[in-house]
Amino acid sequence: MAAKYLGEDFDFHGGGSDLIFPHHENEIAQTQGATGRPGARFWVHNGMLNLKAEKMSKSTGNFLTIKDVLQEYPKELLRFYILSNHYRSELEYHDEKLDEVTRGWRRLNSFVAELRQMVGSKLPLPVPLAGSQMELQQELQEQAQRFEAAMRDDFNTALAIASLFDLMKIVRAYQAQDNSGPSHDYALSLALQTFTQLGSDVLGIFQWQQDDGQQLEPVMDMVLELRQTLRKEKNFALADAIRDGLENAGITVEDTAQGARWKVN
């Protein structure tokens, strides 16, 4: 069947680590004997998935389906949880484990959402960079290379995700500096592009809420402009009441030196 649909040589053959012997070793021997070729170039064997310290098995009823899990957790969180471990390692699944990784996943997603808010829907035009902006650009490139090296090292997704957290710290440190102007905006847009390419396009672990953001953006622009006017008029009570009302509706507003930012919780 593999030869019919994939040819005598194909790239990857996957399966659980419990299939290495005798199933896959016999398959290699049979294919080698019949065609003179090993069949697959790379054999990818994943570790076992345990449910509360016991091997997940359909025959014993000790199992969950993806459909069951997605009723409780976002698909991006589930990807993050799985990819935070090397695929050859055993994976322990239970709610407590997912709750543990949720905090890190939310922190990373919240940061990227804030970055999108600062950059805005229209990416700034490229401009020459200097000083701290150029340093940030170089660090973005270095972390992207580290990410790629991890993925090339037997799909080490755990190390790749670690590079995203390190990248978040780097961008946070850059934001703490007193930066402004077109070069600052362009540097932040490069950071957002890097996170998008690595964390979304490759790993799929970011929960963008893109439709909500697009629909709310013009409304929130007017609300934040109104709050800014109220604050200039020293009507802080009403400005705070608007902020608190938005918080109750699931939208957090943060006042910064560069202006107000908002995100959907």
- Domains annotated for the chain, with CATH where assigned, are 1-46 (no CATH), 54-208 (1.10.730.10), 209-265 (no CATH)
CA distance 105 to 111: 10
- Under a CB-based contact definition with an 8 Å cutoff, are residues 212 and 224 in contact? no
The tokens of 109 are what? Answer: 């997603």
Q: What angle do CA 16, 17, 23 make, to 5 degrees?
A: 80
Burial of 50 from C-beta contacts in 10 A (0-12 / 13-18 / 19+): middle
| Encoded tokens for 245 | 């009302």
CB-based burial of residue 34 (10 Å sphere; 0-12 exposed, 13-18 middle, 19+ buried)?
Answer: exposed
Report d(CA 217, CA 121) in Å as an integer.
Answer: 9
The pTM is what? Answer: 0.75
The pLDDT of residue 211: 47
10-residue mean pLDDT profile of the chain (265 residues): values are 86 93 93 89 92 76 85 92 95 87 92 86 74 92 97 96 97 86 88 95 82 65 90 93 88 82 78
Exposed/middle/buried for residue 249 (C-beta within 10 Å: 0-12, 13-18, 19+): exposed
Query: Residue 214: what pLDDT?
Result: 53
Alpha helices by DSSP H, 120-209: 132-152, 157-175, 182-195
Residue 37 CA: distances (Å) to CA of 25, 28, 66: 14, 9, 36
Question: What pLDDT score does 128 carry?
Answer: 86
Hey, what are 214's tokens? 């697009």
